[in-house]
Structure 1
């Protein structure tokens, strides 16, 4: 005997829909999460998918080469980039150069960074607290600050324009020293070694020195203690540092652009820039895809290392002992290594740039050769720059563009980051929260130059109701919001995990609406994380190059692109002056973050 269910499937489905709508209406975070998903799918996921598709779709103007109509699938770009006679020039040589630079930088940065981290954290070296802060400064400065300082000193006759200081003094510098692999790696080591100092230094600080003492009492040699105790415990920090540096090196653009292009030392980033400049959009999409895949793979390995780091812990609790090695009479002599790093990474580059801006002729240190004309002078003897930068309308135009574009994007980032944190922690639908969390982290996996290419491929032309945005400040603002969301969203999520629902529930019962609760409860409580979510993207955006060099036009020039344009015109003094202004703004923003959050760069190093 069969029985028929009394429950109508249609009624059951309708009840589920009504239940879902009831949940959504009861908790606005559900609707907020859905809206944020749509927004970030448009400005993050869609550009990435667009550049992937451009690698296999016939682009406008390539119909004759590919033998197919525009928009149809083709393997022509893949074959041209990977296997044709041009592939060595387009991809393989830049790839090998990129790997050589990245791997060398990782190796040298680890050696220098670990040595300095050990001196600062595990010894009583003279000036330890001062060095703990000063050693991190090179990481605050734009990487191409060092490139311009290097070019100012070592530039030779291989390219036109003013000579470097050494050549002006009669000392001929070889090409390998002035341009290409050697200076790029040297500068990257100076820039990224502080990252190793921070990450490995924190690991060394948390390590219980009682384990070393016990091993020493039992007769273990220094080599056994180092390889059997210290290195296994700091291995996750070493691997994390290596992978983060490697991922950054893959997408580095400014250094190869300034020091590589003059001698045709191409990397993936400059190869991508060249492909875009010559309107090879399909080839550019293939190169961008290679950069994205390398960046994603590297940073996914980094996340895996961070998860595995939980297995490497020191058993202990509040009794963890931190004992620094006494250097005795070598205490002062050991300070020579961090002092040398500070001189090479901070003092010499900044002093070189400043001196170059007040010298008429490079390398001539006489009183009559010094002037402030490149800052505040009139009627300069140059073709396109007639006054000092502080009296040049173009400079203030780029300052205004920078503040408006980067400032607007940073404020939007901070607010959206807090809303992402709110949606992730309050949303009833776990898949929405999980997808939103991962989606806002996606730009961190894509190097900036590749992400800029993705944005260009999607927004350069009109698509549906969205007009072409290329050449407008809006495309730069949207690209900056998307690229900096990993910082802002992680700040917002971390802040919202510490905020319970009780205060909001009490306000809701009292009749306060959702906007009133956000404005009067959430934002005041989360003021410091909100400020951090604004200022971190602001500092990073001020000194950024990769996004702007692809997406900016002369009408939307910012300080970084204008300085690169001055370099192309061989106006070295003016370009260096602009870079000093960028470094000053970046430093001021970092100080503001420290004042607002009550933290410092060296908090992980100092006791």
Structure 2
């Protein structure tokens, strides 16, 4: 009898502990997501505490705002269409054909997505134009004074389309890999050609992947800062995100209310892409009933080698040519010089690594911010994923949805929300976080939570919870179950999520560009500011070092892919 009472007492204590942990998690979500996003909404809609429809009309009646909004829609739609075309073709070649060296090809296709957009854009700028070091070496550079071909709306669309194509590739490849072979075999047995079977069966069934990939590309393009800023500002092509940046730079706190409203309109464009995706997916629900789990494969026959060559030429062309241009620019002392034995120098690299205080400080700031973000989100993500998967309730679902919104919204919008929340000292303790790395950390926690949470949730879904249930029945406390059972089982997925967060935060610019100061810089924003100030060769050297660091980190993580849950690493075949 005493044993039974003791067990019941332990169970009650475990339940109370779970409630306490859940409360702490909900407080965390409120602090990093609900509070800043609510503050942004309030500032945009009713900055003085009263809704003013006339003010909203005045802002949206400005010609500059309309032009920026139209350019944003054209840019996002056009680049998403280009990304969908490229990503879908590459995904079809990798997922359902018999081409060889797929693992290496997938790695090369995904690598441009992992390279920060400001570095990729700088590489494309240095590839074309009259000041291209690489083209000058080959005698192909345009005449001095010629307008750069990428400083245009079309240039923005092309660069964004190429940068976001891996997003579509990942979505479509996942959709195609789930297709069984018996559907196509049945069509082939009825006399359908491989092309007809692909067009009439495979493409319709891959519809969800195409729609999801296109929506991701649209949202990513709408919220991208680096490409529209580096190509659009010199090309006089305003977008909402560059208009927000320029008004904050010109007017500071006086522009907060107007900029908050513009940020909400930018967020509405991004969210509308996701809502349109959901509507399209609901219109036609296609389910597959298969007799076999054999993956789908088309034999290309004599077309296999040409297909392989085409895939590799495109993948390496998009990856290698811009990086060669970036490297050649980093190896000369003056921008626009041809790379020769007389002009070649390592001065830019030595300055970046050893002599430039701002760059060294920016790298250290980015490194500890990335590590802190990854650690905090992993610590929070494991128990939160536990409640999402194994102990779901309405509060947990709302918290998960709020974090999804924080991830879907453009990083610049999240940064502005953090500024509005922390521009004044924190009540009671009277400590100001504005202008410090801590405000950047808060914005990272808001914008990157889901990136850490999704792999952990996937890991929980693949686990057998019988051990945890047995420990719960005998009265094991929540923290003991967490330490002895849950963490060891979910550690690979949590580690993969932490690595993805670290990689994306280390060199990001979307969030930090509005939050950095002269004394607090991140390495991702530093590349943009160096290019903006005319130090192009030094910016190119920093960009090359970032690419090398990203490449090495990806290779290091790939060495552990056999220990990680399948599908956690996006570049793993």
| TM-score with structure 2 setting the length | 0.88
Do the aligned partners of 2:168 and 2:213 also contact (CA within 8 Å) in 1? yes
User: Partners of 1:606 and 1:389 in 2: how far apart?
Assistant: 31
Q: Does 1:576 align with 2:553?
A: no
Q: Unaligned stretches of 5+ in structure 1?
A: 1-21, 59-69, 157-161, 377-386
Larger gyration radius, structure 1 or structure 2: 1
Do the aligned partners of 2:365 and 2:521 also contact (CA within 8 Å) in 1? yes
Shift in Å at residue 306 of structure 1?
A: 6.3
Do the aligned partners of 2:558 and 2:572 also contact (CA within 8 Å) in 1? no
Do the aligned partners of 2:118 and 2:527 also contact (CA within 8 Å) in 1? no
2:308 corresponds to which of 335, 338, 356: 335
Name the counterpart of 2:201: 229
Structure 1 residues 504 and 235: alpha-carbon distance in aligned structure 2, compared to 1, 3 A threshold: closer
Higher mean C-alpha displacement, 192-201 vs 529-538: 192-201
Shift in Å at residue 288 of structure 1?
A: 0.6
1:51 corresponds to which of 31, 40, 44: 40
Q: How does 1:283-298 map to 2 (within 5 A)?
A: 283-298=258-273
1:366 corresponds to which of 327, 335, 340: 340
Shift in Å at residue 174 of structure 1?
A: 4.8
Q: 3-state DSSP class of the match of 1:581?
A: helix
Offset from partner CA, 1:493-531 (integer Å, 9 cap, x none):
333342526447538847x65434433333223221221
Name the counterpart of 1:506: 471
Name the counterpart of 1:67: none
Do the aligned partners of 1:143 and 1:187 also contact (CA within 8 Å) in 2? no
Do the aligned partners of 1:136 and 1:601 also contact (CA within 8 Å) in 2? no
Structure 1 residues 371 and 207: alpha-carbon distance in aligned structure 2, compared to 1, 3 A threshold: same
Q: 3-state DSSP class of the match of 2:237?
A: coil
Offset from partner CA, 1:343-371 (integer Å, 9 cap, x none):
22211122221121111243413211111
Shift in Å at residue 606 of structure 1?
A: 8.6
Shift in Å at residue 416 of structure 1?
A: 0.7
Q: Does 1:313 align with 2:287?
A: yes
2:456 corresponds to which of 492, 507, 519: 492
Do the aligned partners of 1:34 and 1:432 also contact (CA within 8 Å) in 2? no
User: Partners of 2:204 and 2:426 in 1: how far apart?
Assistant: 53
Higher mean C-alpha displacement, 184-193 vs 477-486: 184-193
Do the aligned partners of 1:414 and 1:488 also contact (CA within 8 Å) in 2? yes
Do the aligned partners of 1:135 and 1:341 also contact (CA within 8 Å) in 2? no
User: Partners of 1:122 and 1:499 in 2: how far apart?
Assistant: 31
1:80 corresponds to which of 58, 72, 76: 58
Name the counterpart of 1:422: 386
Name the counterpart of 2:428: 465
Q: 3-state DSSP class of the match of 2:552?
A: helix
2:418 corresponds to which of 444, 451, 455: 455
Shift in Å at residue 35 of structure 1?
A: 1.9
Shift in Å at residue 338 of structure 1?
A: 1.2
User: Partners of 2:96 and 2:75 in 1: how far apart?
Assistant: 31
2:97 corresponds to which of 109, 117, 123: 123
Do the aligned partners of 2:373 and 2:445 also contact (CA within 8 Å) in 1? yes
Shift in Å at residue 180 of structure 1?
A: 1.9
Shift in Å at residue 92 of structure 1?
A: 1.2
Name the counterpart of 1:559: 523
Shift in Å at residue 604 of structure 1?
A: 8.2
Do the aligned partners of 1:528 and 1:596 also contact (CA within 8 Å) in 2? no
User: Partners of 1:24 and 1:431 in 2: how far apart?
Assistant: 23
Name the counterpart of 2:366: 402
Q: How does 1:527-606 map to 2 (within 5 A)?
A: 527-598=491-562
User: Partners of 2:182 and 2:387 in 1: how far apart?
Assistant: 44
Do the aligned partners of 2:91 and 2:173 also contact (CA within 8 Å) in 1? yes
User: Partners of 1:564 and 1:127 in 2: how far apart?
Assistant: 36
Structure 1 residues 499 and 581: alpha-carbon distance in aligned structure 2, compared to 1, 3 A threshold: farther
Offset from partner CA, 1:415-438 (integer Å, 9 cap, x none):
1111211233455x7222222222
Structure 1 residues 344 and 487: alpha-carbon distance in aligned structure 2, compared to 1, 3 A threshold: same
Shift in Å at residue 216 of structure 1?
A: 3.9
2:86 corresponds to which of 112, 116, 134: 112
User: Partners of 1:493 and 1:375 in 2: how far apart?
Assistant: 41
Do the aligned partners of 1:359 and 1:369 also contact (CA within 8 Å) in 2? yes
Q: 3-state DSSP class of the match of 1:367?
A: coil
Q: 3-state DSSP class of the match of 2:424?
A: coil
Structure 1 residues 601 and 359: alpha-carbon distance in aligned structure 2, compared to 1, 3 A threshold: farther
Q: 3-state DSSP class of the match of 1:553?
A: coil
Structure 1 residues 470 and 202: alpha-carbon distance in aligned structure 2, compared to 1, 3 A threshold: same
Do the aligned partners of 1:354 and 1:576 also contact (CA within 8 Å) in 2? yes
Do the aligned partners of 2:115 and 2:550 also contact (CA within 8 Å) in 1? yes
Shift in Å at residue 547 of structure 1?
A: 0.8
Name the counterpart of 2:228: 256
Offset from partner CA, 1:252-307 (integer Å, 9 cap, x none):
10011111101221112111111222231111111110111222232244456667
Structure 1 residues 430 and 559: alpha-carbon distance in aligned structure 2, compared to 1, 3 A threshold: same
Name the counterpart of 1:135: 109
Name the counterpart of 2:403: 440
User: Partners of 1:394 and 1:324 in 2: how far apart?
Assistant: 53
Higher mean C-alpha displacement, 99-108 vs 490-499: 490-499
User: Partners of 1:266 and 1:388 in 2: how far apart?
Assistant: 32
Instruction: Give the aligned CA root-mean-square deviation in angstroms.
Output: 3.0
Do the aligned partners of 1:32 and 1:423 also contact (CA within 8 Å) in 2? no
| TM-score with structure 1 setting the length | 0.83
Do the aligned partners of 1:125 and 1:327 also contact (CA within 8 Å) in 2? no
User: Partners of 1:408 and 1:267 in 2: how far apart?
Assistant: 33
Name the counterpart of 1:352: 325
Q: 3-state DSSP class of the match of 1:332?
A: helix
Structure 1 residues 602 and 136: alpha-carbon distance in aligned structure 2, compared to 1, 3 A threshold: farther
Q: Does 1:203 align with 2:175?
A: yes
Q: Unaligned stretches of 5+ in structure 2?
A: 1-10
Do the aligned partners of 1:33 and 1:432 also contact (CA within 8 Å) in 2? no
Shift in Å at residue 237 of structure 1?
A: 0.9
User: Partners of 1:303 and 1:190 in 2: how far apart?
Assistant: 24
The aligned length equals 553
Offset from partner CA, 1:343-402 (integer Å, 9 cap, x none):
2221112222112111124341321111111112xxxxxxxxxx4543322222111111
Offset from partner CA, 1:175-209 (integer Å, 9 cap, x none):
36131222222222222222222222232333234
Shift in Å at residue 412 of structure 1?
A: 0.3
Higher mean C-alpha displacement, 495-504 vs 270-279: 495-504
